[in-house]
Amino acid sequence: TSSPHATGAVTFPDGFLWGAATAAFQIEGASAEGGREDSIWDAFCRVPGAVRNGDDGSVADDHYHRYREDVALMRRLNLDTYRFSTSWARVVPDGKTVNAEGLDFYSRLVDELLGADILPWLTLYHWDLPQALEELGGWPNRDTASRFVDYAVTMQEALGDRVKVWTTLNEPWCSAFLGYTAGAHAPGRKSPADGLAAAHHLMLAHGGAVRALRERDPESVVGLTLNFTVSDPVDPSDPADVDVARRDDGMFNRFFLDPILRGAYPQDLLDDVAHLGFTDVVHDGDLEVISTPIDVLGVNYYNGGAVSARPQGPTGEAPAGTADPGGERADAAVWATRSPNPVPDGIYHHGRGLPTTDMGWEVQPEGLTRLLTRLQQDYTGPRGTSMFITENGAAYPDVVQADGSVDDPERLAFVDAHLRAVRDAIDAGADVRGYFAWSLMDNFEWALGYAKRFGLVHVDYATQERTVKSSGRWYADVARTGVVPAHGAATGDVGSTG
Ligand code: GBH
């Protein structure tokens, strides 16, 4: 598919926000300092075999101690805004008692950002539930949603004088289905029913927090971030493939979009999960809370996929290069035949021969244009909700040159192509107001530990030295000018920014 903006310089609208994103558990370290106690990810990292190389978050990027240096890096990248998450286990370590020292860290971080003229964009939950709350049942326990609203109020009261943009949840699909159904993420449970209950209670937590935050600061901008896929049937003329694509799109996308932006679960999905007792989890009035209007839908996009009712190839195995080489699945062998979703059976992912990143994910920028156009038409447009790309980026291995520089043309090309895809969507009417690169710097990539690098900034974990990659220098110019340069154009002032 050719983009009208395939190669020339592409200018973004005035006021378009340029940012980068991180998450607390992936960068902070200091996991037992300042009164912080375990989150489910600290506990999961101790399970043998759960995380590659036995890596954990105890040091990570040591951001807890180096946040001033990291804010200085953000300035060098010319960021307008920085999307970070706060660790619930740092702020409310036992799940009920507020830890002033934890709040103080975020207060200092916010002050540092404001001093650097960078807008703080705060995500309350990026997967790190206090372990104390998991021990009371975790997200499948309805009470966890109430505890989350209390935590949101705590954060509002501490930071609301300075923080004006709030994201409740990052990717509840991952928390619910990778965490409670596939067992690939913390807390490592493997139950379709628990995943569904977790998903519902996460959305209930979101809606309750939106109400609480708005009530306390009507001027604040509040929303949530979802992860999306673009599911294409392998054979659009085969009704079985079309139905599989419906289910795949359904559990990844519509299961969250519909309750939040339309106030009801899709009937086809309710039918698909009816045997799992899901309707008992949904109480009267829940959907009104869940569908409380939001100002911003955060869109995280990494890849789409082609799905079929039949395995690929004569023997049914996935072709080389598509069988989860990144190992995101707890059991890579089931990747070709099982989805992490609660009703996984009979959904087969096929490789399409597209280039893949170091995660094994296909690079498909035009999927982002289609996704944003669809979201605008079917979900956000009718409600007047604007969109931000809250995450987009790619893992590639870094090669550190003899002079210490890091050149990452593949990552630069990935971001370039996806920004062009965003511009195409804006031209087609999508109300997209900003873009956050994932990630500011290399960090703890969940079940893959430190083996995968997503940063615009390279981190040497032995020394904690940060080095801006060539993609980061390029992005700094894009953020400064609001223009994605033409391919082949001389980028004369790369590196002379900030
Ligand atoms: C984001 O998750 C996270 O927000 C961020 O913390 C993380 O570091 C970053 O992406 C990179 O991984 O193979 O069927 O599970 C992205 C999660 C990625 C989940 C793509 C779904 C493919 C579908 N999504 N993944 S499947």
- Write the DSSP assignment of 427-485 as a string of letters: HTT--EEEEEEE-SB----GGGGGG----SEEEETTTTEEEE-HHHHHHHHHHHHSEEP
494 has pLDDT over 60: no
Q: What's the pLDDT at 345?
A: 87
Q: Cβ-count burial of 83 within 10 angstroms (0-12 exposed, 13-18 middle, 19+ buried)?
A: buried
Taking the CA of residue 224 as centre, how many other CA atoms within 13 Å lie in the half-sphere pointing to its CB?
A: 31
488 has pLDDT over 80: no
334 has pLDDT over 50: no
For the CA of 339, the closest atom of ligand 1 is: 14
For the CA of 443, the closest atom of ligand 1 is: 8
pLDDT band at 312 (very low <50, low <70, confident <90, very high): confident
Q: What's the pLDDT at 330?
A: 35
Q: What's the pLDDT at 4?
A: 82
For range 336-363, the mean pLDDT: 87
For the CA of 127, the closest atom of ligand 1 is: 6
Ligand 1 centroid to 56 CA: how many Å? 18
For range 364-392, the mean pLDDT: 98
Ligand 1 centroid to 494 CA: how many Å? 30
Q: What's the pLDDT at 3?
A: 80
Ligand 1 centroid to 319 CA: how many Å? 21
Q: What's the pLDDT at 327?
A: 47
Which residue's C-alpha comes closest to atom 7 of ligand 1?
A: 445
52 has pLDDT over 80: yes
pLDDT band at 236 (very low <50, low <70, confident <90, very high): very high
Compute the distance between CA of residue 332 and CA of residue 395 in angstroms, rounded to an integer: 18
Compute the distance between CA of residue 426 and CA of residue 417 in angstroms, rounded to an integer: 14
- Report the chain's mean pLDDT, rounded to a whole number: 93
Q: What's the pLDDT at 313?
A: 67
pLDDT band at 333 (very low <50, low <70, confident <90, very high): very low
383 has pLDDT over 70: yes
Q: Is 391 an annotated catalytic residue?
A: yes
Q: Which of 381, 410, 313, 305 is nearest to 349 (CA)?
A: 305
CA 86 centroid distance within chain: 14
pLDDT band at 231 (very low <50, low <70, confident <90, very high): very high
CA 455 centroid distance within chain: 14
Ligand 1 centroid to 297 CA: how many Å? 17
For range 47-72, the mean pLDDT: 98
Task: Provide residues with CB under 6 Å of ligand 1.
Answer: 23, 170-171, 174, 227, 300, 302, 328, 339-340, 391, 438, 445, 454
For the CA of 225, the closest atom of ligand 1 is: 4
Q: Which two tokens stand for residue 145?
A: 């949603």
- Residue from 61, 324, 359, 391 whose mutation best tests the ligand 1 pocket (most atoms within 8 A of CB): 391
pLDDT band at 497 (very low <50, low <70, confident <90, very high): very low
Place of tokens 């370590």: 93
For the CA of 303, the closest atom of ligand 1 is: 20
367 has pLDDT over 90: yes
Give tens-digit pLDDT for 9-44: 999 999 999 999 999 999 999 999 999 999 999 999
Q: Which two tokens stand for residue 362?
A: 């296909």
Looking at 47-161, list the stretches that DSSP marks H as alpha helix, in order from N- to C-terminal side. 63-76, 88-91, 100-115, 131-134, 143-159
Q: Which two tokens stand for residue 364?
A: 């498909």
Ligand 1 centroid to 490 CA: how many Å? 34
Beta strands 386-391; 296-301: pairing state: parallel
Taking residue 6's Cβ as centre, other Cβ atoms within 10 Å add up to 12
Ligand 1 centroid to 446 CA: how many Å? 10
Backbone angles phi, psi at 83, to 5 degrees: -100, 115
Which residue's C-alpha comes closest to atom 8 of ligand 1?
A: 445
| pTM over 0.90, yes/no | yes
Give tens-digit pLDDT for 171-207: 999 999 999 999 999 999 999 999 999 999 999 999 9
Which residue's C-alpha comes closest to atom 20 of ligand 1?
A: 302
Q: What's the pLDDT at 6?
A: 87
The answer to whether the beta carbons of residues 360 and 305 sit under 8 Å apart is no
397 has pLDDT over 60: yes
Give tens-digit pLDDT for 455-478: 999 999 999 999 999 999 999 999
Place of tokens 């609203």: 149
For range 272-297, the mean pLDDT: 97
Ligand 1 centroid to 148 CA: how many Å? 23
- Residue from 225, 438, 454 whose mutation best tests the ligand 1 pocket (most atoms within 8 A of CB): 438
Q: Cβ-count burial of 221 within 10 angstroms (0-12 exposed, 13-18 middle, 19+ buried)?
A: middle
Q: Mind giving me the DSSP string for 158-173?
A: HHTTT--EEEEEE-HH
Residue 221: beta bridge partners? 165
Helices (H) and strands (E) in the chain, counts: 19, 15
3-state SS, residue 120 = strand
Hey, what's the torsion of the CAs at 351, 354, 360, 364, to 10 degrees? -110
Q: What percentage of the chain has pLDDT greater than the value 70?
A: 92
491 has pLDDT over 60: no
Query: Could you tell me which residue, 313 or 189, shows the higher pLDDT?
Result: 189
Which member of 391, 410, 445, 465 is catalytic?
A: 391
3-state SS, residue 48 = coil
The answer to whether the beta carbons of residues 98 and 92 sit under 8 Å apart is yes
Ligand 1 centroid to 393 CA: how many Å? 11
- Residue from 174, 415, 439, 454 whose mutation best tests the ligand 1 pocket (most atoms within 8 A of CB): 174
Which residue's C-alpha comes closest to atom 24 of ligand 1?
A: 227
For range 279-292, the mean pLDDT: 98
322 has pLDDT over 50: no
- Residue from 123, 171, 450 whose mutation best tests the ligand 1 pocket (most atoms within 8 A of CB): 171
Q: What's the pLDDT at 59?
A: 98
Which residue's C-alpha comes closest to atom 11 of ligand 1?
A: 445
Predicted ipTM of the assembly: 0.96
410 has pLDDT over 90: yes
454 has pLDDT over 90: yes
Q: What's the pLDDT at 344?
A: 86
328 has pLDDT over 70: no
Q: Which of 80, 96, 107, 90 is nearest to 21 (CA)?
A: 80
Compute the distance between CA of residue 361 and CA of residue 378 in angstroms, rounded to an integer: 26
